[in-house]
Amino acid sequence: MPTKSQKERQRKKEQAEARQQEMAEAWEIARNVERGLDRDVRVPDIGIRRVRVIVMPAFTQPYAWEIREREECFRLYRSTVMVKMPQLSLSLLGYDELESKTRELRRHLDRLWGMSIPVVPDLTERVGRDGVGYELVLFGNGCSQVRFEWHNDGPRQWRPLIDTVMKMIEDFKAAAVLVH
């Protein structure tokens, strides 16, 4: 008959296995189930989504990157943007962690969070067709977020923001996928 300590060890082992299975299932969903832009990835201990950047070139595959924060540590993830025509609805597929340094991700966030720019969108009558569309979403704690969207060069008044995002995209494109 098992002792009390043996039973406790067995119980802890079973809990750890169940937790590991839960994590594996959550990652399977995150990586393989298409989700709307308004849906966050649900993986235990993944952290809070802080930033999403989407790049939508007219004739090549669009991508999205997200920076997440957990206990002062920042991580970078990439998804493929799925475009449904003719209504041009967007969704995300996949969620791969990319090689990144917390210090560099934090520096990008500090630049964005410290920025003061006019929030007036481009009011000219231009319509973007070909070229590249961009979206930046900054997520707060809870239900607050700020979203910027532009085409090609974007509004002049957003130049500091756009320059920061372009540097982020350059860094993100160079990051390798981490294999887990």
The pTM (predicted TM-score) of the whole model is 0.88
Residues 6+ apart with CB under 8 A from 74: 50, 67, 68, 100, 102, 105, 106, 109
Share of the chain above pLDDT 70, in %: 97
Domain ranges of the chain: 33-174
Looking at residue 126, what is its pLDDT? 66
Tokens of 76: 């970078």
Q: What are 158-180's pLDDT values in tens digits?
A: 999 999 999 999 999 999 998 76
> What is the CATH T-level fold of the domain 33-174, as seen in this structure?
Mago nashi protein (3.30.1560)
Looking at residue 177, what is its pLDDT? 92
Consecutive 10-residue runs of the chain (180 residues): their mean pLDDT? 84 88 93 93 93 94 96 95 86 95 96 93 73 95 91 93 97 89
Q: What are 110-122's pLDDT values in tens digits?
A: 999 999 999 888 8
List strand residue ranges (DSSP E) for the chain, in order: 35-36, 48-57, 63-70, 73-84, 89-98, 132-139, 145-151
In 146-168, which positions are buried (b, 16+ CB within 10 angstroms) versus exposed (e)? eebebbeebbeebeebbebbeeb
